[in-house]
Structure 1
């Protein structure tokens, strides 16, 4: 169950003395046995399972069900708790569990249970906690009869299943004690139900995220006088946030991201108990009202990916408990210095990516000593980086891309002292400067990600990079760097993503590059942690966790010559290989066909010759292939993976032929202009045979006649 629910169900927990008493009573109860009805109901549940993962062994070894695994009884030998979470159970949930007349808590979460949710459990006259989350339950939720008397259910968690249909309205009318309802991550449709607020006086948590709910946010929330958490993120809600919602002053957590909500945030100041505010990925407009400073408890502010604008209000400095401020991808403008960050000493993350802030980076930010992530990229800050950034001893993630900064040497010298720094994107700065090569660049011992792309930098790959033993991702593309790839590149044992495309590198592809440990291994997963969602190669690809990170080698658009080293077959971990737009020649080496994890292969715009290896069909995960504009020849393999790619993958190879391109191979694969009907072919064959026979007889006759006259 979500940690946020814990404060609202404290009454279900027992103090240590009470727990000891329960254990003592349980020991005493072992002298007796549970009733036959209790035992029979549990056996009915067990019998209906298609997979019990050994539970039957425990449950049949003793006649007393109070000693069974996952079962707790009271002093009257009645079952009060069935706790079978994460047991690998499969099959339906038996309605016979509803016959356990003293059952208070039923937890079947994190299994593979299927079928529907028995109405007998929802309408039980004794169950107060029902948790069937993270299963494969499906169907709709049944309406309870209007005559149903008040039910004791306090916590209902049906999240992460396959439920569909509308969330019933009358069901909640009987649940006067309901405090927590979690129906997130299903496929429920219709509108948000507000009936629980009317029916129950203790309703505190409503979690409906990741469904297909639509329509406006209903006004009925004004009846939710003690609602603490409202989360309806990732649905299809539209319209404005109703003023009635701002009257629910008890709200501590309001989460409505990834909908289509619009309008302004006027009235947000009335939610004075807010701790987290998540309204990102909507269509909100207007500015952040100055009254936001009244939210003294606010810790999380998420307004990213909206249409909000204006300057940040100075009163934001009054939110002294703020830990995260995410305002990226909006139209905020003005100088950031109007906010006094020195009063926000709890701040750990600031994300201002893609806005219109101007001026200098405010020095007050450098007093936020707990800051771990700072992203200022794609704004209109200017000038040079202050040495005071060294005060941020905990700073791990720093993104400065696209700020028009100058003096790359000075910037790197300043940042080298940030010992905790792991992620440093600095692209689109330092335009037309020279990559520093001297030994004055030091530090960065913990750096995992370095991006100095799109800067038009001159120079070569500097040797100081060889000291970055923890480097995982290196982006140097879209510069004017020259020279060869240094052999020490393979000494970066953790490097799994190398992009040096669109430069002017020369020489052959070194065999040492084929010795990169992370690219050679298809067993070792990339290990890199991002304090904020990281964007690489394109702003539409987010790297949130290591599994999102692909092992990439991109040497495209350079001046490399020679052949592809045969050792390329060692790079078993590669998912993307780009050698396009160079001056490489020779045949496509067979070892490249051994890279069975490849998803992207681009060898276009080179001088490769010979045929296409048929064993490229072994690359079953290949989804992008480009070998266009070379001098390849012969038949394109028509079976397997290669047959799935469009003709553009093979264009610009005049000597290639096959059914997927314009050039067809011989008469058997002739184009429309040379198609001959079977009748024509047959008549021509008969004519050829007859002519051959006639010609043979004629020649023989001539030989006989001539021999007679000239023999």
Structure 2
């Protein structure tokens, strides 16, 4: 529907049936029923077109989600895309038991990922909204997942949460996989076996691509583009998983514009149904396998159709420039290392390379150097590198050390630092740095890396984790566990853990315990890479997180502490009075420590008990929900398909990642790569 269903159906009435809407949002169907349904739709669209200009010039106030839809318990198809619906999704709608299609794409919904109760859901489409937050760890493929936790995962065909601002990792892991160590299948892990379309593109996801993607044996479309994934392409994508595994029936594989590294494996050529694969805009090295080039892929997107039979139809080679990372590609005459990756998105070749001063100038600007805490560290643009405070050079004038602790740096660690080929020490501890640790650092012989106490997200890139010498990684006695000698923890403690130095230290002998990253009581207490402390507090011998404590836990602990305080105070008063009587010194008045005030931390509801509240029709605060569409593999790409009534607000996840992210999103905007449609799923 491309009209306001709320108005059309007269769903402005509250639970008591009283219409509280403004006259402009009153039901379109006339008082005497003069207009039939078709006229109502036409009239609504005409009114929207007439007001389109006004909406572009002012803040658009769309309708809220009609709560009374939650009363339609037999409802199967709910499609409310392109309606400018704002706010969150009512709990009553999430609890509808028979939904097969739930499509709320292209609205203005907010909140976290919603959990529906339908046991027959086939399509879940939440794309193109303003949803955010992390996905629950148990959402996909976890041993504890069963029909009682997320029943719709057993029937789902299409899962689309693209064009939002979801973050964190995709909750699929090899350790909680679908198969037991002996190869047999967990009975509780039959979820998502009907899944054909999995789209999380255009979000803020990080971490690695989970191996368990290979478990989805019917997967035809896998869209992970425009995120911050690191690591390599999992072999399970082209091998499948478990006993008797076969290659996935992938038709479309979109991996472009991430931080993936390594090489493009020739095993991808064994995918029998593959028609489109995009890997540009990553950090792949080497060449595109010739076996993959022979499949004539990506023909629907390429302007030069003949490129479909060449390797540059998949990705431009290293040392070349291209606006889209694929043909047409312009070879750069000078191999200066600037264009070191396959499929780089560069309009022009940079033949002169990058010198030290340009790299440091860029780093200074991106970390808001004019706002650093100590003005004596201010760098002049173009100033010789070796004359800048915090920078040390060797005898040949090459930068070897950058030491800038506790200066209030904010922004990213730019990957261009990897062009400082003699850099040995990078000390950026206790700053406000954000973004991700660049895998590009693997190209230099770095020895000391200190990012403790920053706000870096994601994970340490896997190819960086095997880099020897950095913080002693890969160096240690033979009797030490190999997994401690080569470990990402030696670079930075992962999210949810900490150590006093923000990383692990390899033991150097039998009597040396080294340093390990210890888990915080609450995994959210250490929100970033390289935490050197937890944001937990200790009350009555128990750890509690300062800002986000389970409501029941707070009540219990608060009650225990208060009871203990009152009992202790009462005993003290009794003991004091007894002593006063014995001393003949009984006094009137109040004790200076008359009461005990316990300040409990701020709390928010973090359990799912609200699902059982049959009397509540309030919007579900933990989610911003969306619904599905009846067609499979109908792609939303950038620039996106616009409704004629679009108000021009083209928000994407890049709007929330800072100035550099927005500039990159504008500069690297892609053309639509696909409009292919597979058969209906319903």
TM range (shorter): 0.3 to 0.5
Q: TM-score, normalised by structure 2?
A: 0.36
- The alignment's TM-score, normalised by the length of structure 1, stands at 0.35
Q: Give 1 or 2 for the bigger CA radius of gyration.
A: 1
Task: Work out which structure has the larger RCO, using CA pairs closer than 8 Å and 6 or more positions apart in sequence.
Answer: 2
